[in-house]
Structure 1
Amino acid sequence: MTRVRSDLLPALAAFESAARHQNFTHAAEELHLTSSAVSHHVRKLESRLGVALFRRHARGVTLTQEGRQLADAAGNALADMESVLNGLRASRNERVQVRVTTLHSVLNTWLLPRLHRFVEQHPGIGLVFDTEATLSRFEEGGHDLGIRHGPGQWSGLAALPLMDDTMRPVASPRLPGLAAVRCAADLVTLPLIADKAHQGWHDWFRAAGVHGATPPERYQFSDTTDAILAAALGLGVALARERILAPLLADGRLRVLALPGMPSRWNYYIVYPTHRRLSAPGQAFADWLMADVARFGP
C-alpha cells in the first residue's frame, strides 16, 4: 500500500482549505499563511501528482475533476483526524465543553429556561455561549455549533430544522388604550415598537388585511430582546416571535393580543460546519435540543 509522504501533508492541508473555500486568500487566513504560500503548496502538490487541481481564472479558482476527487478524500481524512484529536483532547480534560453561538433573544428567553434538563442529563459537559447577530465562521478552536433563525441555507453549513415560529402582537396589560383594541386596524391608535427583523409591522398589517400606510414605529431597537422588554414596560405594542415570549407571558408582564398571528418566513436551525464532524459533546447537545423540542414542544 502506497503511503502519503510526510512532506506532502502541509500541501494537502493547504489544498483542502483552498478547495473548501474556493479561494486561496481565505485559505491563507484560516491557516495563518500568506496567499503565495498556499499557492506554492498547491503547485507543489500538482507537480508531484502530475495533474491540475484548480482552474485559475480572473475571478479566482475552481476545482478540476481531479481536484474534486482529491478534495473529497482530503476533507474526509482531515475530518476523521480532527474528530480523533478532539476525542483525545477531551479524554485528558476533567470537563469537556461545547461552544454555542446563537442570538441573545433565543438564549435569554427560550434556551435558558429549559437548559436545566441538559445539565441533568449531561453533568460532565460544560457549555460556552456567545450571543451575536452575525453568523459565526466556525473557525478552528471556535464554535462547535449554533442555533440560528434564518432561511435554512448557509454556505458551508449543515442546517438541521429545529422549530418554526409565528409573529404576534404583544403588549403590557397596563398599556393605556389596550382595552379599546378590537381588530388589527385599531392598533393604529397605539405606539408601535419595532426591531430589525426581516418581517415587520408593514408585513403584519398587510397580512391582517389592513390596507394603506403603516403607522409610524415610535420606538425602534436593534435587538429583539430590547424590543419585547420595552413592550413589557408599557411603552407600546411589539411584534415578536412567539418562541421567545414564554417567560414574559408566564409572569404576566406581556400578553398576546387577540389579533391574527403571522407565520415567520424564517425558522430555527441547528447549524454546524460541513467540513468537520461535530465532537461527541457537540453531537450530544444537538441531539438533546432536537429531543427536548420533540418532547416538551418549542
Structure 2
Amino acid sequence: MALRADWLPALAAFEAAARHQNFAHAAEELHLTASAVSHHVRKLESRLAVPLFQRHARGVSLTAEGRQLADAAGSAMADMDDVLRSLSAASDDRERVRVTTLHSLAYSWLIPRLPQLTALHPGLRLNVDTEIALTRFDDGGPDLGIRHGPGNWPGLTAHHLMDDSLFAVASTSLPGVDAVRDAADVAHLPLVSDLSRQGWHDWFRAAGVHGVRLDERHSFSDATDALAAATHGLGAALARARIARPYLGDGRLHQLPGPVLKARWGYYVVHPAHRRLRPAAKQVLDWLMAVEKD
C-alpha cells in the first residue's frame, strides 16, 4: 500500500494522539477539536483495516499495531523536524554577517548607527566581534573588519572609511584641571594613555611644548578604557574624535586647550581579497561606505 498525500493529515493527528495518549491533548496541540482528531484516527484505522488504539473509559492506549506505526511516524516527524531546522538555520546563516572591529569604535561609532542598518535591511543578522589582535580572515572567519591603521594589509582589500583627529580631554573632577589655560598647563596634569602609535609626546610636540617631564600614570590597551579612566578623574587622556564623541556629548569629558592633531592613521573596512563577498556582507559594506560619518 503506497503512502498518498491525502493520508498526511490523518497521520499527523495519529502521531500527536499516540505521543500524548490522549485525543484532547493532541487536539490542543494541532488546534483541532478532539472529535476531529478521533475522526482522523478512525479514518486511518479504516484504511489500514487494523485498530490503532484501544478505547476505554479512562482514555485510549495503543495497540501493538498502533505502537509500530507510532514509532515509525515519530521517527519520520523527528527527521522532518531536523531537516526543517537545518534549512531554517541555513537561511539565517545567509543573512548573518560577522564584523570584527575594536571595542572602542564599536561602542562609540558603530553601535549608535546600527539602527539605520537594521531599518534598511530588516532581515540582516550581525555578529560584532571586538578585539585588539588582528583577526585572521580564514574560511569560517569574519566577513568584514573595520581596522585602524595605514590602509594596506597583505591579502586584504581595504576601503577607506574615515579619518580621525586627536585632542586632549579630561573630567572636571580631575584635580588641577580648573587651572589649565593652555597646552603647557596640560603637561602638569597626570596623564592617561592607550596603545595608540600617536601619543602624548606627539601632541605636546605639535603644541610646541618641549622639555617637560610627562606624568603618564596609567596606560590601557583599549581606548575606551583610557577614556573611562579619564571620566573617573585618573588623568587627562589623548582622545580620538571618533571615540570621544559620546563622552563629550554627555559631559563626562571636556576638551582641553591645545592643538587638534590629525591622526596619522585612518579607519578602513577590510575583507579577504581572494574571496567574493556574500550578498549580505556586500550590503553591510555598502552601508558602511555610505553612512553619515559625522
Instruction: Give the TM interval when normalised to the shorter protein.
Output: 0.5 to 0.7
Whole-Å separation in 2 of the counterparts to 1:135 and 1:234: 31
In the other structure, the counterpart of 2:241 is 242
Partner of 2:191: 192
SS at match of 1:265: coil
In structure 2, list runs of 5 or more residues that go unmatched. Answer: 1-86
User: What SS class does the counterpart of residue 189 from structure 1 fall into?
Assistant: coil
| Structure 2 equivalent of residue 35 of structure 1 | none
Tell me the secondary structure at the aligned position of residue 109 of structure 1: helix
Distance 1:236 1:112 in 2: 27
Q: In 2, Cα distance between the equivalents of 1:253 and 1:199? A: 23
C-alpha spacing 1:220/1:91, structure 2 compared with 1 (3 Å): closer
TM-score by structure 2 length? Answer: 0.67
CA distance in 1: counterparts of 2:284 and 2:89, whole angstroms = 15
Distance 1:214 1:281 in 2: 52
1:95 and 1:124 in contact (8 A); partners too: no
Matched residue, 1:176: 175
Q: For the residues of structure 2 that align with 1:90 and 1:153, how far apart are their CA atoms?
A: 35
Q: SS state of the match for residue 282, structure 2? A: helix
1:101 counterpart residue number: 100
Do the aligned residues in 2 keep the contact of 1:101 with 1:131 (CA within 8 Å)? yes
Contact 1:104–1:131 under 8 Å retained in 2: yes
Q: Deviations over 1:25-71 (max 9, x none)?
A: xxxxxxxxxxxxxxxxxxxxxxxxxxxxxxxxxxxxxxxxxxxxxxx
In 2, the alpha carbon distance for the partners of 1:89 and 1:141 equals 19
Tell me the equivalent position of 2:293.
297
Q: Within the alignment, does 1:202 sit opposite 2:198 as a pair?
A: no
Tell me the CA shift for residue 280 of structure 1. Answer: 0.7
Change (3 A) 1:91 1:200: same
Task: Indicate the percent of aligned positions where both proteins have the same amino acid.
Answer: 56
| Aligned pairs (5 A) from 1:13-52 | none
**One-letter amino acid of the structure 2 residue matched with residue 100 of structure 1:** V
Give the TM-score normalised by structure 1.
0.67
Letter in 1 for 2:215: P
- 2: CA distance between counterparts of 1:297 and 1:93? 29
- Report the RMSD for the aligned CA atoms in angstroms: 1.8
Q: 1:261: Cα distance to partner?
A: 1.2
User: Which has more radius of gyration?
Assistant: 2
Report the Cα offset of residue 107 of structure 1: 0.4
Listed as ranges, the matches of 1:87-166 within 5 Å are 92-93=91-92, 96-166=95-165
Report the alpha carbon displacement of residue 93 of structure 1 after superposing the two structures with TM. 3.6
Superposed, 1:6-17 pairs within 5 Å as none
Is the alpha carbon distance of 1:96 and 1:90 closer, same or farther for their aligned partners in structure 2, counting shifts above 3 Å?
A: farther
- State the distance in 1 between where 2:101 and 2:179 align: 38
2:30 is matched with none
- SS of the residue corresponding to residue 257 of structure 2 reads coil
Tell me if the contact between 2:183 and 2:257 (Cα under 8 Å) persists in the aligned partners: no
Q: Is the 8 A contact 2:171 2:233 kept in 1?
A: yes
Residue identity opposite 2:293 in structure 1: G
For this pair of structures, how many residues does the alignment match?
208
Give the whole-Å Cα distance in 1 for the aligned partners of 2:92 and 2:231: 43
Alignment partner, residue 79 of structure 2: none
Q: 2:187 and 2:293 mapped to 1: Cα distance?
A: 34
Question: Contact 1:98/1:281 (CA < 8 Å) preserved in 2?
Answer: yes
CA distance in 2, matches of 1:227, 1:150: 19
Q: For 2:161, what is the secondary structure of its paired residue?
A: strand
Contact 1:193 1:219 (C-alpha < 8 Å) held by counterparts = yes
SS of 1:230's equivalent in the other structure is: helix
8 Å contact 1:191–1:237 — kept in the other structure? yes
- Contact kept in structure 1, 2:187 and 2:212, CA below 8 Å: no
